[in-house]
Structure 1
Amino acid sequence: MTDQGFDLDALDPHYTTILCDLWGVVHDGFRLLPGSAARLLRWAGEGRRTILITNAPRTATTVQAQLDQLGLPRSSYQGISTGGQAGIDALLALGEPVGFLGTRFDRREMKAAGLRFVDASFRDLCCTGLDDERLAVADYAAELAEMAARGVRLHCLNPDRVVIHDSVAEVCAGALADGYEALGGEARWYGKPFPAIYDHALALAGNPPRETVMAVGDGLPTDVLGAAQQGLHCLFVSGGIHADAPFPTDFAARNGLGGWAPIGVVKGLA
């Protein structure tokens, strides 16, 4: 199964719904990746519905504004499902102020979405990622240990461990949540590979039969594992976070997936 062996131009018409990852597949944080907009527009022209499904710890409205700035035509997709929105909804349901860990931009957005924050004595924490000053997980060790000791629940709004931002690796909230669990803390995860974001994305697509859905993504522990666990066919994009590494032959065995395999591997959407 190689990128040379899968022809995107001859995609089976059986796949009428596409759940397409964003970062590493459609854009790199600064610009659209080659051929991505044209591919999404082609799928739309073929009558397929594309739902953009992203672990971004933000609302769909904010993600759409970012895509507008990057130049992705709104006609190329029919909906956006984010891990951030799932986490926001869960935190709002608590009905009380929570702690916060992330950038100043994210804090403003979470407050605009209705969350209330306190700096001490919180039982739950909204984690969107690293803050603006501390750029390594090790910088948070003391803070995470203190929260774990008093039983704080860390709500991880972005399960990604790292993304490639303009060719540079950038640590995400998932890496902090991993560190927190290693200290004995409780983390609650939103986004891929967890079920809620797929249920939301499929609802946006009109709840099509799962055998007609193709997920597209570049992250093995998020996009690919999530699709497999949800019983979806998956196209693996090797040119994203895994930097053209071949699809691991033991992926299914390591994850208890039986004989599951992606339907194909491509370098990108061009």
Structure 2
Amino acid sequence: MTRILTHLAEIGQDYDALFCDLWGCVHNGIAPWPEAVAALQAYRQGGGRVILLTNAPRPRQFVIAQLDRLGVPRDAWDDVVTSGDAAQDAMFAGAAGRRVWFIGTEKDLGFFDDVPPEHADAAPIERVALSDAQGIVCTGPFDEFNETPEDYRAQLIFAKTKGMKLLCANPDIVVDMGDKRIYCAGAIAELYDRMGGESLYFGKPHHPIYDLARRRMVAAGGPEQARILCIGDGIRTDVRGAVDEGLDVVFVTGGLAAESFGSDVENPDPDLLRDWLKAEDYEGIAFAIGRLR
């Protein structure tokens, strides 16, 4: 049975490192949650390593800059690993071709422009019209506050008939920006898959981002055979990824699925939680918590 925690400190000493999700766990896209920040700071002060593991489609330096703007202090984490880091490596290796149609916003252009040193000599990736593309790179909708995946159906039908692969830089389906729920690249990629197209994924719950996180964790001073605890609010990304990697996970119930567990966000109803996890086929996960604290 899943154990409901009130504080991370109840189990933190049993693990060498945390792989902690950002959006929905540490911040809501607008501001950090002070208790979550304090929990991570305390964990690090006790000798643990904190790797912030996010499906953000931008390379890590852009996410670090965002954390600075939001006011998440740097003593709350050791390193940041993004879906953008893992997907960018695949893009520059040519996974979707070298001429690509880009679906995303201006804030994500660093995905193309900030070339990793290991790909400095690679042939450039050119952003072109869909009719001239070899593949698609998607970091999210053009207008993330108003569009849905269905707005892209016609373009995806064309891409499928041309045999294009869609490189998904963020496997998340939705996130909450304050009180506004917005679609992510994963929702567009999921639609493309349902239509018979082929999407490529590198963030949670897929292995490449966990492999990169482990390497970054060791580089930050963590042991190579570390006891790792994952924290996240996405059942299909954070929880599934942890389970597939054979890692324990703390499911943050006060995130994306908060309305499913009763009126008290901080204290999920045990019966509702048990039934919901059973319906999702994850009734055996180790831990849950209302909000990270």
Tell me the TM-score normalised to structure 1 length. 0.91
* Counterpart for residue 70 of structure 2: 70
Q: Which moved more, 1:141-150 or 1:7-16?
A: 7-16
* Residues in 1 aligned to 2:5 and 2:213: alpha-carbon distance in whole angstroms: 29
The reply to whether residue 178 of structure 1 matches residue 190 of structure 2 is: yes
Question: What is the CA distance between 1:139 and its match in structure 2?
Answer: 1.1
Write the mapping of 1:210-225 to structure 2, written as runs, cut at 5 A. Answer: 212-225=227-240
The reply to whether residue 118 of structure 1 matches residue 134 of structure 2 is: no
* Residues in 1 aligned to 2:69 and 2:237: alpha-carbon distance in whole angstroms: 26
SS at match of 1:13: helix
Question: What is the CA distance between 1:195 and its match in structure 2?
Answer: 0.2
SS at match of 1:126: strand
* Residues in 2 aligned to 1:117 and 1:237: alpha-carbon distance in whole angstroms: 38
Give the paired residue count: 265
Q: Which moved more, 1:110-119 or 1:76-85?
A: 110-119
* Match among 214, 220, 236 for residue 202 of structure 1: 214
* Residues 4 and 154 of structure 1, relative CA distance in 2, 3 Å threshold: closer
8 A contact 1:88–1:113 mirrored in 2 = no
The reply to whether residue 188 of structure 1 matches residue 217 of structure 2 is: no
Question: What is the CA distance between 1:5 and its match in structure 2?
Answer: 4.7
* Residues in 2 aligned to 1:116 and 1:35: alpha-carbon distance in whole angstroms: 43
* Match among 238, 242, 246 for residue 227 of structure 1: 242
Question: What is the CA distance between 1:208 and its match in structure 2?
Answer: 3.4
8 A contact 1:3–1:267 mirrored in 2 = no
8 A contact 2:4–2:287 mirrored in 1 = no
| Percent of pairs with identical residues | 36
Q: Which moved more, 1:22-31 or 1:198-207?
A: 198-207
* Residues in 1 aligned to 2:149 and 2:42: alpha-carbon distance in whole angstroms: 41
Question: What is the CA distance between 1:199 and its match in structure 2?
Answer: 0.5
Question: What is the CA distance between 1:137 and its match in structure 2?
Answer: 1.4
SS at match of 1:18: strand
- 1:103 is matched by which residue type in structure 2? T
Q: Which moved more, 1:5-14 or 1:87-96?
A: 5-14
* Residues in 2 aligned to 1:267 and 1:198: alpha-carbon distance in whole angstroms: 24
* Residues in 1 aligned to 2:258 and 2:10: alpha-carbon distance in whole angstroms: 25
Unaligned runs of 5+ in 2: 116-124, 262-272
* Residues 34 and 167 of structure 1, relative CA distance in 2, 3 Å threshold: farther
* Counterpart for residue 87 of structure 1: 87
* Residues 201 and 42 of structure 1, relative CA distance in 2, 3 Å threshold: same
* Residues 3 and 32 of structure 1, relative CA distance in 2, 3 Å threshold: farther
* Counterpart for residue 137 of structure 1: 149
- 2:128 is matched by which residue type in structure 1? V
* Counterpart for residue 119 of structure 2: none
Segments ≥4 residues shifted beyond 3 Å: 1-7, 246-255
Q: Which moved more, 1:117-126 or 1:140-149?
A: 117-126
* Residues in 1 aligned to 2:104 and 2:70: alpha-carbon distance in whole angstroms: 23
Tell me the TM-score normalised to structure 2 length. 0.84
Write the mapping of 1:1-270 to structure 2, written as runs, cut at 5 A. Answer: 5-94=5-94, 96-106=98-108, 108-114=109-115, 115-119=125-129, 120-132=131-143, 135-206=147-218, 208-209=224-225, 212-246=227-261, 247-249=273-275, 251=277, 261-270=284-293
Question: Deviations along 1:33-74, whole A, 9 cap, x unmatched?
Answer: 241111111011111000000000001000000001111111
* Residues in 2 aligned to 1:263 and 1:12: alpha-carbon distance in whole angstroms: 13
Question: What is the CA distance between 1:16 and its match in structure 2?
Answer: 1.1
Unaligned runs of 5+ in 1: none
Question: What is the CA distance between 1:244 and its match in structure 2?
Answer: 4.8
8 A contact 1:25–1:218 mirrored in 2 = yes
